[in-house]
Structure 1
Amino acid sequence: MTGSPFLTLPGAVPAEAPDEGVAAHYGNPLVEQRRLEQGRAIVDLSHRGVVTVSGPDRLSWLNSMASRALDRLAPGESVEALFLDASGHVEHAVHALDDGERTWLVVEGGDAARALAGWLDRMRFMLRVEVADASDAHAVVAAVPRGDDLPFELPEGALAWDDPWRRVIADGYAYAPESGHAGATWRLVEAIVPRPALAGLAAQVRAGTLQAAGVLALEALRIAAWRPRFATEVDERTLPHELDWLRSAVDLNKGCYRGQETVAKVVNLGRPPRRLVMLHLDGSDTILPVPGDVVIGVKQRPEPAPGEDPERRAVGAITSAAMHHELGPIALAVVKRAVPAELELIVESHGTDVAASQVEIVPAGAGPAVEVPRLPRLGIRH
């Protein structure tokens, strides 16, 4: 991938991992958040990877491996799907769209595109499919539309993927209650455009006919909407249940795919071993945690000895953090399942304790969707 023309715009500050290659902001991330939220700004996501699958068997083939039913994917329909390992852990997450001839899969970056394309290519066997890494020819830009209107005109040959996060998909499952869900008003459209079109979109920003927002603005809105992201919330142990990802990316009535047994078992009989929470952070020290910072649970003993300090125990880690234009400093974290909602939390960041209040996304009491009947104990008489 070549350098993005958006990085040549006035005030552009390059982003750090995992968003290298695009602008973090253009001078004022909080103002850019408001513009983005109001549907007036474009976000350069040209560091994202794009994989295409063509051939008459493409949809049935992808359907056999993905967590979503893709065999009847209609042209222009937007879906999110996961590819899991045999134990149900998340290996790839894709934003999928079909144009009637090709299925387009947007992933986190160039490395992810090469990894996914290589894995898919090894799974082709004798089927009539062709897999290609299209990241050099196509790029991704995004916006938060108001109604059906984007703040820019889609270039010729572009495709638009509409994020399904704002509602529970048919045959999906939600651990978080629908009432008051922060994602209910979330709307994001990712446009797959020919890479040469980036220069024209950047020229519109330079001319003042279009406004730009950096990825920091998008991240703040995403975190506030409780929206998981593969590059930040996923590690080698992640089950989709832990991030409430069955809401948008898993079809529980779909046929066999790798990892399905674990997905069904945890939903029907078990509990997610970890869970996603949002944290409201104390901003008095102007410290914003970074991914990997440890989340500590603080527990006061019922009858502490004089001078005894409260018990401190690591219960999780920060995955994403941002400064929101209304909520202030916020973060997503993955914590142990048993952490009570009312437990006092702090984040150890930059050598300082940052107080945090927890908002449950996957509730601590999230249990099996199917109640298993208890068998009577032998030898008991009534």
Structure 2
Amino acid sequence: MAYPSPLRKLQEQAEAAFLQYGNDPRPDEGAHPVELAATYGEIEAEYASMRKAVGLLDLCHRATIEVTGTERHDFLNRMVTNQISADTPGRATRAFWLNRQGRIQADLMVLDVPDRLLLDVDIHQVESAVRTLNEFLFAEDCHIADVTQSLCHLGLCGPGAAALLDETMPSSSDSKDASPAAADMKPGQIALRQSPGRAQPIILERRDTVGDVGFRLLVHPQDVMQIHETIVEAGLNAGLRTVGWLAYNIARIEGGTPLFNVDFGPDTLPHETGILDQAVSFTKGCYLGQEVVARIQSQGKPKRVLRGLKLEGQHMPITGSYVWNVDDPNADPIGIVTSSTPSPMLGDTVIAYAMLKTSGGDAIDSTVYVQAEGQVSKARVSPLTFWPRPEA
């Protein structure tokens, strides 16, 4: 995504409030901070749109790496934690890029589209991921490049997302270019939408991050304003709203979506993320850091793991709040909170993610105690997903 977002002026006209996303790890290299639309003034309505209709997000905190060449699948498969195969075109695969110590350098979604692989990555990791992946290239027919300036990331979330996509950008009836309707796409499936006059096809990916149907759209910057306007105009009668980060953050915590650089990061091992089954294959060949991953798998558990928490009462913990396994704030903490929110789908119960020591109280349904607004609140350890939609 270009700096700033191509939609920035439109967001300012809508009187959006903005917030800075994360801490750029390259402050001395002239890097630009990333600002996200925090809210368009009605957080509750923005949230409700993702639960009852459809919400549209500008995901300008996402970057894109392009991998091309005849050996692109083989090379990337030898680098990352999940299976990347030329036998599964049109699929999106989550994987981690590790260092030699087995710690996560980048959390990737690998999109297998015609003639290239696209790696969706946090914008603060794109430069280091490109650099470190290139360090392992030797004589392979493979080229790795940062193409963030050439693709904008949009998100559609909610029960009406598929119908809206099929209305605004229907699948081709030409058998040569046929791709599935959005309503028929399964999680991880990719489809292309061709249209005369656009700089390049729109890439659709089914990705459910809020406990309901969701899609990611990768759009050329020249086309993003027109695509955005088309979706908004068509969605007005369907209850669509443009959604800011604050509303999305509530929904993604409910929906079981921890984020790199928020809930886990470069000091984290795959087993600690709570999403090991999504991003790691134990049947594929070797990759960087595999020895560490295999050793932890054979030992049975890591030293810590990301868990969900359901708190009693209405006191809200903040990022970094301590968690104890006894009702004593003078005791040694067993973990810290990484994200928290009141959950509208659970009657405003306070929910959170926390990185907990596995030696002290990470078991599901265990009772723990959480630092929250100057109080100590009782909580129950839970899985990361608090609200799945059964038919999503």
TM-score, normalised to structure 2, is: 0.76
Greater shift in the superposed pair: 324-333 or 152-161: 152-161
Contact 1:67–1:83 (8 Å) recurs in 2: yes
Report the 3-state secondary structure (helix = DSSP H, G, I; strand = E; otherwise coil) of the residue aligned with 1:71.
Answer: coil
1:228 aligns with 2:258: yes
Q: Relative to structure 1, is the Cα distance of residues 78 and 355 closer, same or farther in structure 2, using a 3 angstrom cutoff?
A: same
Q: Relative to structure 1, is the Cα distance of residues 22 and 297 closer, same or farther in structure 2, using a 3 angstrom cutoff?
A: same
Deviation string 1:45-94 (CA, Å, 9 cap, x unpaired) is: 02211111111111110001111111335332111011112222211111
Task: List aligned pairs for 1:1-382, cutoff 5 A.
Answer: 1-4=2-5, 5=7, 6-18=10-22, 20-72=34-86, 74-109=88-123, 111-146=124-159, 149=162, 151-152=164-165, 153=168, 156=194, 157-163=201-207, 185-204=211-230, 209=236, 210-282=240-312, 284-285=314-315, 288-299=316-327, 312-327=331-346, 328=348, 329-340=350-361, 341=363, 344-349=367-372, 352-361=374-383
Q: Relative to structure 1, is the Cα distance of residues 62 and 335 closer, same or farther in structure 2, using a 3 angstrom cutoff?
A: same
Greater shift in the superposed pair: 18-27 or 82-91: 18-27
CA distance in 2, matches of 1:237, 1:114: 18
Give the corresponding residue for 1:376.
none
Runs of 4+ with deviation above 6 angstroms: none
CA distance in 2, matches of 1:125, 1:255: 19
CA distance in 2, matches of 1:330, 1:266: 29
Contact 1:79–1:164 (8 Å) recurs in 2: no
CA distance in 2, matches of 1:205, 1:103: 27
Contact 2:92–2:109 (8 Å) recurs in 1: yes
Unaligned runs of 5+ in 1: 166-182, 300-308, 363-382
Q: Relative to structure 1, is the Cα distance of residues 244 and 310 closer, same or farther in structure 2, using a 3 angstrom cutoff?
A: closer
CA distance in 2, matches of 1:269, 1:280: 29
Contact 2:21–2:61 (8 Å) recurs in 1: no
Contact 1:30–1:325 (8 Å) recurs in 2: no
* CA apart distance, 1:192: 1.2
Greater shift in the superposed pair: 131-140 or 34-43: 34-43
CA distance in 2, matches of 1:322, 1:201: 32
Report the 3-state secondary structure (helix = DSSP H, G, I; strand = E; otherwise coil) of the residue aligned with 2:60.
Answer: coil
Give the corresponding residue for 1:379.
none
For the pair shown, the structure with the greater C-alpha radius of gyration is 1
Contact 1:39–1:143 (8 Å) recurs in 2: no
Deviation string 1:132-179 (CA, Å, 9 cap, x unpaired) is: 1111111111122538815344575111223378xxxxxxxxxxxxxx
Contact 1:279–1:330 (8 Å) recurs in 2: yes
Unaligned runs of 5+ in 2: 24-33, 170-192, 195-200, 385-392
* CA apart distance, 1:353: 2.1
Contact 1:39–1:150 (8 Å) recurs in 2: no
CA distance in 1, matches of 2:202, 2:354: 35
Contact 1:68–1:254 (8 Å) recurs in 2: yes
Percentage of pairs with the same residue: 25
